[in-house]
Every structure is written in structure tokens, then in C-alpha cells.
Structure 1
């Protein structure tokens, strides 16, 4: 379609080459004198934009039937200030040799578009310009300074990215003992130690009541309140990973002797067995020292037994010991003297005279009351209490059996008694031997003085 057929008035001027129909919707302008260029050739429909706020009335019939006015305003775009790029950190990263690094994406502030680049990469790493990402697997240990750049039409920025590549780290090895013992309500300390590449962090779980863990000095401390066996989880971690072990902590109670602390017996009598016992965690060992003569301690069954020899009061030291402590107590044993069997102490030989008065007293030691007896006495002698007396009427040597008896026993001895013939002279002839005559020289006054 020719220009003349679109715009009938020669006052409207079209600027620019417009070739249709592909140029439908293209903007063309009209000058302030509304004249078209003489060589303009358009076809199809066009949008009109009037320069310098000049008014044009496309509905004016002189513009032709195909000129249509559309009432709208084009708003000019709002543009911020253009800014040069500035790279974002971090600018130090780490990696392990022969292991993929965490991909590093280069970013920057500034007006888009921004172009990125990374140079001086270590072997095994590469840079993707589309995603501006550094990735790959470093092949050697070392510290690498990688050049980073970001640029746009306003300028550029550069930084050094420090990549530290190290050998893979092994997890720590816990070296502290894995068994321990503690005593109820007494202070306990345990230090968790480990070897390996630092930094190493420590943790502990499943502690019994009364204990706590200080990660600063790696110490378990406190006073456990309840006896028992506890499996405490120990942990040590570094860049190589965590290591865990189980600490078996046995919390026990010291022994407390609970058997009676007084006992009694009688000298010479079997002592009533005394059993030594104690409360507390097993295993408990016992001892008893300073026992009276005749008594002994049997560690196999923790008993004191025997027959005490002497009376008296004895302070026996008792001791009970286990892994958690020792208890010492004093057992007071009172040994009574008791009954002592008699022992004849009088002489076992004696002499007398026939027809002369005779007397012999049996004596004995031992607990009272003691009874005495004598048998096989010569004629004329008898025993009363402890005394043998009378006038023996026959001469000779007699083995008299003596006995002394109490509730504790009897002692038997033999008295060798010799009775001599003596004298049978009757000086006054009154028929009474001189030894029996109170007046051996006066026949008129003779009488037996016995």
C-alpha cells in the first residue's frame, strides 16, 4: 500500500524506514510540522508517536480513513544507578586430597550482567563459567591461592581464594581407661583422653546421678549417689569423624561391720562362735586381731572360736575391707574366770604312832565349794570335812586314797601314811599305856585322856 493511500495529507511526515507487513506495530514518529518523508513507503497498520508533545489528530479526515487514534501513554522505564561488581566471601576453604571438595560458587554484588572467572586452580579442579562454580577433586596436599574475578560494564573486582588441601583425618582413638570404680557419696574424677588430629571435641552420656562432664577439661567429676554398674558412653570427634567407647563404672559402698561388738565366755569352756559380718559391696575381706589366749580367727568363714584360757576383758580389733574402703571396730570380749577344778595341795606322805592321837588336813586349790574324802584309812582313823583324825590302833604303812571334788571336777591323790608302833609302857600299872594316861605315874588317878 503506498503512502499516498494511507495518509492523504502531505502535512504528515513519517520518519524512518517502515516496510510491512512484518513491521506492523512498529513505532514511527511525526515531526512538529506533521510532514512525511518523501521517500517513506509503508504498508499495513502502524502506531503513531508524536514527538515533543505535539498534538496530531489522526481522526482528521485529511489523514485518511486508515489512520486510527489509540489513546495511551508509554511510561519510560525507571533505572537504578549502575554499580561495579564486588565479590562475596568466604575466601578460605578446605578440602581433602583425593576427595571431592564442596563446590564453591563465585558470587558478587553489582549491576548485571556480571562475568566471573577463576584462575590458578590446583590439579583436579575446574571452573564452570555458566554456573561460576569451582569443583573437582584435588590430587595433592597444599595451600593454593586461586584468583577470582567478577566484571561488568562498570568495572571489575578480584580476590584470592585460599584453598587448603590436607590429608584425610583419621577419627580420634580414645586412650583413657575403660573401667573405673567409685564410692557412693565420695568424690570421683575421671579424665577422658584421646589421640588424633585436632581439634578434638569430647562428649559423655549416660552418667549416674551425682556426676557431670566438663568438656573444657574433659573431666567426669562429682559424687555418685547410687551404687551400681553404669555403661557410660564416651565420644571423641575430629574432622575424621567420631569415636565412641563404653566406660564401665562400678559404684560401690564401703563395708560397715554389723555384727555385735560385745561377746563373753568362760575360761576353760568352749567359746560361743562369734561371726564377723558387714554390709557393703562385695568382695569383703575380714580380720580379727588381739584375741585372748585360746581363741583364734578363721578367715574362711569369718568366725572367732576356741576355748579361752584366762579370764579378763579383751579389746579385739575387727576389720572389714573391700574395693571402696575399710571399716574398723572394736569387739569387747569378756572372759569370766569360771569354775576351777580342785587340785590337792597337801603333802602326800605322813607319819603317825599307834595308839597315839593323829590328825591330817587335806588341802586343795580350786573353785569352792570343795568336798573331800579319804578311803583305806587305818583302823581308828576317820575323815570329817577335810580332816583325818583319831587314834590308830594298828601299825603299818597305808595308801590312803584322797579325793577333792567340786562342780568343775575331782582330783585324786594317794597319801602314804605310816603308823609306827610307838610305846605301850604302863609305868604305874593301872592298865593305861603311858601315851594314853594323863597320869602315867599315879595308878590311883589313871584315866584315858582320850
Structure 2
């Protein structure tokens, strides 16, 4: 009996312990349920739905167009629509919001875009955007058919001309083409320029594009000739006069760069000098003929020479002071006289001068001759020129008496 009582007491104690443990477990569970710090983070909601485009760029008829209105936020997939309909041959991708196509005509309008996302319930926004399609640009074409040749050492400049196109033009040389040495193409103006440094033929293709994407190209070749040496073209120099200023410029063609003149042989008349620019100047002080050789040299050391002579004399004058009268209907012969200058001399009546009495004439030797037919007098202006090109005039009276 005592053993049985002990067993029953033990069972009762164990049962009480299990009950207490269960109560503790329930208390811990309840406490855990009330601890919000261990709760999972809720999923974020969708962002605000927007159409990101603020403006649509202009398009051009007959040129491809591509632009997006930019759906953003919300939950994809998106659904886009537009009213009224876009210009002919343009379409809107309802999912991506990209406008593509090639418009065929000029137009301008405002279009309302509606964007809806996949949220529950769905979000929806609208935006009005203007779209202008400009008139088709004139066809861009290069109109310069060929380019002229050039010379080594001489500046070269040619502009490639175009017709049509729109906006700024951009120029380039296609791969494989080569311009002459030291010659370049301006990418903004289409000017081919430079100073060639080597002879030969260069072949290349020029390409031009405008802001609308149009392009044209043209094949060219430029022949660069060897440098042309200078050539003195002055043949004779006029004579000089003692005490009178002398100034003559030597002329030359060809050559490269600045031409430099010098005396290579002989001597100039006393008090005359030759400048590096080819000017012979000064005031001669002595009579006589000076013979000398000048040389002209270009920037490439090419040169030419020429021999000249300058005769310096005293001043050319008409020494006749009066002409003896002649009788009417009688043979008349009167000589005019000169001094100074360089022989031979040539006489004539000065342009615009009064003529000789009827029946008389003037020879190149300065002789008035003939048979006067009218009584009276005239006062022509006589002109004498020497072989150096100097001339003087003088008015004298010719009288015919009875």
C-alpha cells in the first residue's frame, strides 16, 4: 500500500511538470507573435507611371524617323496608344513606346499619348506632344565635275560645289583616296587647298553629307605639274636722261613664291640701282650706254637671266626756234632741228595739233616740204621722239606769204 501511494504521487508530480512546461511554451509563443521586429519586409508597391518624353524632334519627309516617348514607372508590360493617328507611314509600338517609319509628307500636329501599365488596378497617364514633319530636303548632289591642275610650290585652292541638301554639310575623303602632298580638304567648307610639294597625279573620292543624312560622292583627280621656272618678259629698257629721275620695273612670269632680282654681270649707269623687287631707279649723272645682266630667282632656286642696255644722254630738245616763211605756189623746204636724246629721231605732229598749211607735209626726218596753195599761217605742235622712247614737243608757226 505504501509503494502504490508513492507511485501515484510520482505520476502526479510528473503531470504537473508537463503542464508547467506547456504553459511556458505557450507564453513564449505568444511573446514571439507580438515581436514585430522579426516580421518580413512587405513588397514595395509600383512606382509612379510616367511618359518621359518632353518633346519630339522634328522629322523630314522621305527620311527615316525613330524616337521613343519613354514609358517609365508602374509595372510592365505597358500599353500605349495615341490620338489622333500619327503622320502617314509612322507607327507607335504599343509596348516599347517607340515611333518608327519614314514619313511621306510635310505635316504638323499635336498628339495625345495614353500609357497604361499592368498594375491591379492599372495606372494610366496621358501626355500631349507636338510632332512636325518638315518638307523633304532637295536632293544633295555634287556639281563640280572636275578639278584643275596645279603646280609645285604654287598655292592651290578649289571649292567643291553642291546643290540641294539641308543644314550644315560635312566633307570627307573616302578611304583609299590620296590628295596631293600638302593639300587638304576642309571638312566644313569643301575647300581643297594647300601648296603642293611634289608633282604627280592624285586620285580620290570626295563625299558630302547633310544634317538629314543625305549623301553624295564624286571621284576626282588632280595633276600637279613640276614647278615652272621664272621667265623674264621685259625685252628693252628705255634710255635715261642726265639729271632726270629714272624708274623702270622689270617683269617676269612663272616661278614659285617671291621672286628676287639681282645683277649678275656688267654695270648699271652711274647712280642707278636695281632693287630685289626688280625696280631700276635713280638719277643718272653721266652720259653713255651701260650693258648689264640681271637674274631673277624664285623660292625654289629656279632662275632666269637677261641682258639689258640703258643709254643715258642729255635731255632731248627741239632747237628750232622759228620757221622761215614760204611763198604760195612755190616749192617749200624747211628742216626742224633737235639735240640730246639718242638717235635716230622720229618727227610727227602732236595728237590734236593744228595742221600744216594746205599743200605741205612733215617727214619723219623733221623736214617740212611741198607747195603751199593758200596764203596764211598755222601753228602746229611738233613732236620728236628718240630711239629710247623719250619725246618732247614744241609749237611753231608756219607762214605762207604772197
Band of TM-score, shorter chain: 0.3 to 0.5
- The structure where helix makes up a greater share of residues is 2
Taking structure 2 as the reference length, what is the TM-score of the superposition?
Answer: 0.41
Greater Cα radius of gyration, structure 1 or 2:
1
**What is the TM-score when the length of structure 1 is the normalising length?**
0.37
- Asked which structure has the greater RCO (Cα within 8 Å, sep 6+), the reply is 2
